[in-house]
Amino acid sequence: MTVRAMKAGAIRLSDQTLSRQDMLDAVTTAIARDQKKREDEKVILELRALFEALTPREREMMALVTAGRMNKQIGSRDWPC
């Protein structure tokens, strides 16, 4: 049950009654984690939208650049027009 609860996002488990401060701390931690997760998801969606807006040629060039190719190496290759 503990493993299942932690995988589901539980912040803290306790067999005892929590103090008011412990409960507030757990809720504050949960809210902060959720906010960070939402911000990360927003960034991913924005990046995905930018990637989708690239032309096939731009995606090809991006793959070469991210693979570590230098501009001269990319420019010297025979590319189809």
Model pLDDT for residues 25-73, shown as the tens digit of each residue: 888 888 998 999 999 999 999 999 999 999 999 999 999 999 998 888 8
The pLDDT score that the predictor gives to residue 79 is: 56
Q: List Cβ neighbours of 41 (8 Å cut-off, separation of 6 or more).
A: none
Q: Are 11 and 30 in contact (CB under 8 A)?
A: yes
Q: Report the distance separating Cα 30 and Cα 37, nearest Å.
A: 11
Who wins on pLDDT, 4 or 47? 47
Dihedrals phi, psi of 77, to nearest 5 degrees:
-80, 150
Q: Report the distance separating Cα 42 and Cα 9, nearest Å.
A: 20
The model's pTM is: 0.58
The pLDDT score that the predictor gives to residue 26 is: 82
Who wins on pLDDT, 12 or 64? 64
